[in-house]
Amino acid sequence: MNFVGRAAVVFGAGGGMGLTIANDLISGGADVTLADLKPRPDAIAEGPGSAAYHQGDACDEAFVRDVIAATVADNGRLDYLVNTTGVLWFDRDTSLVDIDMDVWDQVFDINLKSHALTARHAIPEMKKTGGGAMVHISSIDALRGDGKPQDAYGASKAALLRLSKSIAIQFAGDGIRSNTILPGAVLSPMQARWDGKDDVLAAVASSVPLGRIGTPQDIANACLFLLSDQASYITGTEIVVDGGVLAMP
């Protein structure tokens, strides 16, 4: 897809899905600002689009404001916002009856508040150039319960669906689109617990109708479509990228 002449910000771009999405945008000609709490990764694409990296906390409104301002200063515009920032703390995020509520608040800050802050500062800049598109990474956990729950994670990802839909309706008249992607199991740094565990990987893959675990590239493919002009009539909705898991009874 051709993104030449467009400017994007990808939060959570220090690795995994975010870095893959940013690299695909750069390869498509977009000028991309990558932001993450992690240090700058080595594997940023070399072109034809440009790349700038900012290290900081997406829950810090001052940092978010500065990243958006720097993007506009560098490129004269902002067309795309991608939010991949998120945490899944298996060791601390448990049932609502057991979870430390400070952990609950931290998860909501990272998985939801950060997305609200980035959209809050991106929308005025998108308005100036006649519109734009944003994609937020949720999860299939937003649509189901779990016998081994991470309740803060699931609830925050469900709230993100509502936030994205509200953004879509509020700013459709400004030419701004907002959609979400709901990944299933994906081999990314968030699932480091699977590293070196071939038996676990095989079991997870066998539970997926398509017979494999997803990759960051699967999510990037859906994201670039939703950002692109080919998706110009799609807003306020979500795409499930889970190999068919949610379709099962």
Q: Which residues are catalytic?
A: 153
CA distances from 184 to 8, 19, 101, 120, 217 (A): 25, 18, 26, 27, 13
CA atoms within 13 A on the CB side of 221: 8
Q: Read off the DSSP letter of residue 110.
A: I
E strands, the chain, in order = 7-11, 31-36, 51-55, 80-83, 132-137, 176-183, 238-241
Nearest alpha-carbon partner for 63 in 42, 37, 39: 37
φ, ψ dihedrals at 145, nearest 5°: -90, 180
